[in-house]
Chain A
Amino acid sequence: EAGVAQSPRYKIIEKRQSVAFWCNPISGHATLYWYQQILGQGPKLLIQFQNNGVVDDSQLPKDRFSAERLKGVDSTLKIQPAKLEDSAVYLCASSLVWRNEQYFGPGTRLTVT
């Protein structure tokens, strides 16, 4: 089966600019996650969707980050405006349902200068 797809793979922007990431989960997976992985750390959950509804966004900096999954399939994560500390790899993952194994995408490496 095809894996989780993410684009772009790399992005370099200046602080205060905006950026958007896209994720296409494995077909049929109802649960979608966005993680932030700062260099040298484990992934940290930003937001979890169940179909097109938000289950958990407690660690999403809502003043600058937003995410949507309008049709319950693809998802986008946006940062506006970006800060230097947002430099990280943004990982998307999906699972059949919340209790099943999470499959990760290749990630988007964001560098904010």
Chain B
Amino acid sequence: GENVEQHPSTLSVQEGDSAVIKCTYSDSASNYFPWYKQELGKRPQLIIDIRSNVGEKKDQRIAVTLNKTAKHFSLHITETQPEDSAVYFCAARRMDSSYKLIFGSGTRLLVRP
């Protein structure tokens, strides 16, 4: 079945440095890739998403890149701040109502002040 692998499981960076989280997916027909941020004890919130007709998307300090050939996509956070500390989940799905969102296992990001 469909699977999304996410690495690393934990990531510690110094404030101001960049953080990169990588995901690979198994279903080659997937064409929608959202990223969610989940702070401790809180609900997941969408921070950025990308569709397969785009290779890269940026929103201020956050960017996502997609390589459909290799079936992987990455989240890049620049100039990290302590409030970026959270668990980040990638996900993938086909844009078809009969297919569900498959989540990765999450990356716990710690930004050290």
Contacts and interface: CB of A to CB of B under 8 A. Distances in A.
Given A50-B97, A55-B97, A55-B98, A42 B89 contact: yes
A107 interface: yes
B95 A91 contact: no
B43 A40 contact: no
B103 A43 contact: yes
B97 A98 contact: yes
A49 B15 CA distance: 42
Given A91-B44, A104-B43, A107-B43, A44 B97 contact: no
Q: Interface extent on A, as a size class?
A: 20 to 34
A40 B107 CA distance: 9
Contacts of A44: 103
A101 to B, nearest CB: 5
A105 to B, nearest CB: 6
A99 B95 CA distance: 7
Interface in A41-61: 41-45, 48, 50, 55-56
Interface in A65-113: 91, 98-99, 101-102, 104-107
B91 A42 contact: yes
Nearest to B95: A99
A40 B105 contact: yes
Grouping DSSP codes into helix (H, G, I), strand (E, B) and loop, the B interface class, with mixed when no group exceeds half, is: loop
Q: Interface extent on B, as a size class?
A: 20 to 34
Contacts of A105: 43
Given A42-B89, A102-B101, 11 more contacts: A4-B43, A41-B105, A42-B91, A45-B101, A48-B100, A55-B98, A56-B98, A98-B97, A99-B95, A99-B97, A106-B42
B46 A102 contact: yes
Contacts of A107: 43
Task: Name the residue among A43, A48, A55, A99 with the largest chain B CB count within 10 angstroms.
Answer: A43
B43 A42 contact: no
Task: Name the residue among B42, B43, B105 with the largest chain A CB count within 10 angstroms.
Answer: B43
18 contacts: A40-B105, A40-B106, A42-B91, A42-B103, A43-B89, A43-B103, A48-B100, A50-B97, A55-B98, A91-B44, A101-B34, A101-B46, A101-B49, A102-B46, A102-B101, A104-B44, A105-B43, A106-B42
